[in-house]
Amino acid sequence: MSALARPGAGPAPATRGVPPQGRFSSYVHRSAAAGRLAVQPRMGFADLATMREGLREVRDADATSIGTITLDSYTRVNDHDSARAALRTGAELNGFPLVAHGERATRELLESVSGRDFPVQVRHGSALPQPLFRAMVAAGVDATEGGPVSYCLPYSRAPIAKAVSAWAECCELIAEQPDPMHLESFGGCMLGQLCPPGLLVALSVLETLFFREHGLHSVSLSYAQQTHPGQDLEALAALRRLGGERLSGADWHVVLYTYMGVFPRTPIGSFRILEESVRLAVRSGTERLIVKTPAEAYRIPTIAENVNALEFAESIAEDEAAREPSFEATDTGIYEEARLLVDSTLELAPTVGEALVKAFSRGHLDVPFCLHQDNANKSRAYVDPLGMLRWAEAGRMPLNVKGFDARRPVSAQGLLGMLGFNERRFDREQLTRVHSRELLAGSGPRSLS
């Protein structure tokens, strides 16, 4: 059975009546129409030769793959002089310094590997990305991602109002191009973990509406895997439903991220959490998945490790599409919560950008455990005994959390325990299996350290 035929997946993109716009979107929609999940890594290397090799290996992988160029930390904060100095001296960088390499070198890199059947997305993390967007436009980049909230609160000290202004300028820059880049909201990935699904869905929708407000027609909504597959399935259904309601006239799809928090330490535990994210993507009808590798608990993964993760994801996607569903969606009101947050935020101002600034200044939107100066940081979340992510305190957000034990305290020790929930869950499954096999063999459990 095709992934798109699964219950809760919603209509295939072609049924929305909006033709795909651009090479990136067209590839994703063609893959989805064929029942194939598009997968991509978070890969980025500093030198041109290694970056080219990595993209070629991803392109040639046995998977429905998309290329990724992840940028370095200097470029993300517009310190391009330091990035250029690192290139001159051979100092180590943790990604590709696109602006430092220049538009000509980047364009030549892309033209040597990308094409109709292998689009490339640039991933960065910049709250004030005007120089980067100018360089990407000049280099002919297919797609990028981010947003005025999702790339400001976690990664920057810049005021939200300044980020909103910067991202409006960037959206308008790419909207006026003959072949505009695809833009993905990072709003469904706030802090990577411990943000309840209703707020993640709302932020992704609000950022995508912001992109539309500034002239973009090809966009994607994001969501990051959390701690309970059924709850995540419900959240993805809510995201798709709201996208269908709010993005009329747009070319859009959904992207899921393999868990972005504390990752399992054992190799098999890491592959198990990746497997669950793939099954979640297929079960929900999600068109695109950003994968992680076992190496990411310790270091930046190699090209071969990225390719291995992509091919593993492809095999699991095929298996899930052919089997009966392995889990069902919960019914906890995520759609209603997200819709309330979206609607009540939009009522605060005549434009989406102004509404976002006002919402955070009033605590009307409030990301738990986020220390940015423009975030109220009054809301709190917890993982309940069933593994579901719940609100403990809503702060000044218009949410009723009484049913979610509003007085439940979140201590420092409890926070650390919640941060490691998925690490323990998937590693414990592996340790339990190994110990059970040893006991059955009569050898008794052995230490795996």
Residue 199 has a pLDDT of: 98
- 8 Å CB contact between 263 and 273: yes
Give the tens place of pLDDT for each residue, 8-37. Answer: 444 444 435 677 789 999 999 999 999 999
Give the tens place of pLDDT for each residue, 365-379. Answer: 999 999 999 999 999
Whole-angstrom Cα Rg for the chain? 21
φ/ψ region of 221 (left if φ > 0, alpha if ψ in -120 to 50, else beta) reads beta
Residue 410 has a pLDDT of: 67
Both tokens assigned to 328 = 């069902």
The Cα–Cα gap between 355 and 338 comes to: 16
Residue 31 has a pLDDT of: 97
Domain coordinates in residue numbering, the chain: 3-321
Q: What angle do CA 71, 77, 83 make, to 5 degrees?
A: 60
Residue 308 has pLDDT above 80, yes or no: yes
Residue 438 has pLDDT above 70, yes or no: no
Residue 422 has a pLDDT of: 67
The Cα–Cα gap between 345 and 196 comes to: 17
CA within 13 Å, CB half, 223: 33
- 8 Å CB contact between 310 and 59: no
The Cα–Cα gap between 182 and 334 comes to: 27
- 8 Å CB contact between 370 and 378: no
Both tokens assigned to 63 = 């998977």
Determine what percent of the chain is predicted with pLDDT higher than 90.
Answer: 77
CA within 13 Å, CB half, 197: 29
The Cα–Cα gap between 427 and 410 comes to: 24
For domain 3-321, the CATH superfamily is Methylmalonyl-CoA mutase (3.20.20.240)
More confident residue, 4 or 104: 104
Residue 264 has a pLDDT of: 81
Give the tens place of pLDDT for each residue, 166-225. Answer: 999 999 999 999 999 999 999 999 988 889 999 999 999 999 999 999 999 999 999 999
Residue 416 has a pLDDT of: 74
Residue 440 has pLDDT above 50, yes or no: no
Q: What is the mean pLDDT of residues 308-318?
A: 97
